[in-house]
Structure 1
Amino acid sequence: MSALRKILDAYVDDGTVPGAVALVARGDAVEVTVAGSRELGGASPMTRDSLFRIASVSKPMTAAAVMMLVDDGRLAPSDPIATWLPELAAPVVVRTPSSPVDDVVPARWPITVADLLDFRAGYGFPSDFSLPAVQPLFAELHQAPPQPQAVPATDEWLARLSRVPLLHHPGEAWLYNTCSDLQGILISRVSGRTLPEFLTEHLFEPLGMTDTGFSVPARDLDRFTSCYGTRAEGGLELLDGPEGQWSSPPAFPSGAGGLVSTVDDVHAFARFLLGEGTFEGRRLLSPEAVRQMTTDHLTPAQRAAATLFLGGQGWGYGGAVDIERVEPWHVPGRYGWVGGTGTAAHIVPSTGAVTILLSQVNMTDPTPPALMNTFWEYAADATPHGN
């Protein structure tokens, strides 16, 4: 039994997760390990092609799609988003982050495409979720937890957001999550295609990501994992089963966290980034676009203010960028992100390393759970031995 299998089995055996699929790769050496089952009780063994709600691991894929439009000259990072999202043409900002939602001033600058890409548009989650201007993101927009069938249709969602004040002026602060959903709407408005159509045509099909999408077809529900939360008194509770929230297309496809996928599909996306936008000889994205995605864009003060989410590390487009080795797995230049449903995917461009972990228990806060940390520590020193 491999060392990675022993790690996964330990977390399955102690009841932390029903199952998991993990991948560690360097170049052509790829190790994939499967443990446990797709649901509590063990009736359906986990398989390599099991489908997971990847949550915020969706974010890098959405950012890559925006950069495809930039490469094509259909928009530029400096462009105001109001050209395509007129609902946000005249945003207002709360006077201070703790001010009531009706104590506002006009935004000093328009929101740009770059502001959406680097999460500095003024919308999103700060370290303090109790701030008045944050509450509508939960109550009106259903930003958490992921419940795709509860979210209003795209145009209505954006209309509601337009009535919510910014927490900071554009460009001033990093705030989590909402900008990825706005990226998804931007992609649709610029391209004239729905977000699912654009991602399928320009990213998923060219990369062979045949199992990635915003819902699971009936024919594939037998591969779809169940999703769980942790009870306060201990143990797991079912939050969503295979025939639940993702069994039909949502009215609002969330670029921030709406995708389902498999370990091999996520690996294909990672290989595409490591190939600097080229996949199996076909160029889909420019090397400069990939470099922008995988480069930290934050100031030291912005990183410090986002410690709850970033732990002092940086942020590129759609994912975190490690800038210092706080833990063994923090390799400067490592790029990727975690999903609140217990998923994580990272690359290290300097070494060609890929690490992917797919599990099915919701995180209780932005701090990565012990399973992720143990997996990353293993992957930091491991040499993949193949399957």
Structure 2
Amino acid sequence: MILRRVARLLMTGALAALIASPALAEGSFDPPPTAQFSQEKLGRIDAFFGKIIEEGKIPGAVVYIERHGKPVYSKYFGVRDVATKAPMTDDTIFRLASLTKPFTAVAVMTLVQDGKIKLDDPVSRYVPAFADVKVGVEKTKEGGEKYLDFEPVKRPIKISDLLLHTSGITYGFYGDSLARKAIAAAKIYDGDPSTAEFAERIAKVPLQEQPGTLWDYGNSYEVLGRVIEVASGKSFYEYQKEKLFDPLGMKDTRYYLPEEQQKARMAQPMPNDADFRVGRPSRPDIVKKWESGGGGLTSTPHDVIRFVRMLLHKGELDGKRYLSEATFKDMTTDHVGPSSGIARDYFYFPGDGFGYGYGLAVRTDPGNAKPPPPGSLGELKWDGASGCYFIVDPKLDMFVVLMEQTPSHRQPVQRELKKLVYEALE
């Protein structure tokens, strides 16, 4: 009976139709490039954001989806500040937090392709203090008390280690290891250090582990800011502005907001959700010297969309190439996979099913979740503690940008948005 039914399905083409129409709902993975958006289903995004804004979870958000070079969804929800009731707009300024890192990585890779930096260069070539960096190793005294010992590195930290978060440099505001506690106690964020001085401070605190052994999120990208300054002979921001921001038409992307009209355009989180939990104040309205390559940029939906569109087009936009094809491929290749010998920290932020390139998570497999999160192999993504988030899906020739300021609700919002986007494909 079963064989006869299969034969009938093959004869009628029904079996092919069943195979070709995967359930593009929750848990869909690697949808076919022929899938098309349903405008009716995209409307569920409206309902979702309307509900969470009404519940007072977030003030507002901007969502943009582009496919095959055309916008398929562009909406502004709620307000940028519940105090002023000012609406969300294309020029609303958002704190990017760790979404800053991909911008830093692209800037580094432009210097790599120009031959001014090599990925295997020791960091000490640009920041000499790293020649004497030590690894903090937890040991136990006879009485059972733990203490922090300091050991030399087995090999120097390389530029590639900074890009991959395999430098041993960690943050001091989460986790309870003695090395992390030592970093927190050093108060490296205090005062008004320059980008150069901040890199020196990082070199003086212990590494969490030996370079090249573990993916460990931390201050590596702060050091890259200083590397760019030394290699380019310009300030970190000046180099990014000249090579990326101005050519891409990103006129509102910067580290600080010195003008009152800029401050007035800032998106603010809900008053009870103003702690971005990044170990330091997030106040771009107060101008300081340090330009944070790991989390300091502010930008607008317009500007972030320009940058992400360039990523979808593999380092090129509007006839101008920012990264060569080879450089872009290297940047978007998983360098921390099983064959790399690099372990993954408990706080492995790329997430299940993702490897890591330079500044970007790279989808390599469905992951272990059942059902797996939606997406395509080769997908690129990153986000920040403020809630801003993007997805680049080369297989579908699509990208998604979410701009919001919601530290507490960012992960549920990002997960639900991604689910709704892929559910809308049929």
Normalising by structure 1, report the TM-score: 0.87
Pick aligned residue for 1:78 from 81, 96, 120: 120
RMSD of equivalent CA atoms? 2.7
Deviates more, 1:268-277 or 1:217-226: 217-226
In structure 2, the gaps of 5 or more residues are 1-39
Shift of residue 302, structure 1, vs aligned partner: 4.2
> Identity of paired residues, percent?
30
Task: Measure the CA separation in 2 of the matches of 1:360 and 1:97.
Answer: 41
Cα separation, 2, equivalents of 1:330 and 1:249: 39
What is the deviation of 1:229?
Answer: 6.6
Q: CA separation of 1:128/1:17 partners in 2, compared to 1, >3 Å: closer, same or farther?
A: closer
1:369 pairs with one of 398, 407, 411: 411
Match of 1:177 in 2: 218
- Which amino acid counterpart does residue 166 of structure 2 have in structure 1? R
Q: Is the 8 A contact 2:57 2:270 kept in 1?
A: no
Question: Which of 321, 338, 362 matches 2:383?
Answer: 338
Tell me which residue corresponds to 2:88.
Answer: 46
Distance 1:127 1:257, change over 3 A: closer
Task: Count residues in correspondence.
Answer: 368
Residue 195 of structure 1 pairs with residue 260 of structure 2: no
Residue-by-residue CA offset, 1:184-225 (whole Å, 9 max, x unaligned): 111111111111111111000011111111022322222211
Of 299, 302, 322, which residue of structure 1 is paired with 2:337? 299
Measure how far apart 1:272 and its partner are.
Answer: 1.1
Q: In 1, Cα distance between the equivalents of 2:97 and 2:61?
A: 15
Q: What SS does the corresponding residue of 2:400 show, helix, strand or coil? A: strand
Please state how far the C-alpha of 1:304 moved relative to its aligned partner.
4.3
- Secondary structure of 1:310's aligned partner: coil
Q: Does 1:284 align with 2:330?
A: no
SS at match of 2:104: helix
Contact conserved, 1:141 with 1:151, CA < 8 A, in 2? no
Partners in 2 of 1:97 and 1:329 — Cα distance? 43
Aligned to 1:329, which of 363, 374, 377?
374
Aligned-partner Cα distance in 2 for 1:63–1:334: 17
* Alignment CA distance shift 1:304-1:168 (3 Å): closer
State yes or no: 1:90 paired with 2:132.
Answer: yes
Q: Determine whether 1:119 maps to 2:158.
A: no
Which residue of the partner structure matches residue 267 of structure 1? Answer: 305
Give the 3 Å change call, closer, same or farther, for CA 96–223 of structure 1 in structure 2: same
| Deviation of the 1:119 alpha carbon | 1.0
With the length of structure 2 as denominator, give the TM-score of the two structures: 0.79
Alpha-carbon distance between aligned partners in 1 of 2:46 and 2:188, rounded to the nearest angstrom: 36
297, 309, 325: which is aligned to 2:349? 309
CA contact (8 A) 2:216 2:347 kept: no
Contact 2:138 2:147 in 1 (8 A): no
Alignment of 1:210-249 (within 5 A): 210-216=251-257, 217-228=259-270, 230=272, 236=273, 245-249=283-287
Q: CA, structure 1 residues 372+97, in 2 after alignment: closer, same or farther (shift >3 Å)?
A: farther
Instruction: Assess, with a 3 A threshold, how the Cα gap between structure 1 residues 70 and 140 changes in structure 2: closer, same or farther.
Output: same
Q: Distance in 2 between matches of 1:62 and 1:211?
A: 16
Q: Matched residues in 2 for 1:307 and 1:261: separation?
A: 27
TM superposition shift of 1:377:
0.7
Letter aligned with residue 65 of structure 2: V
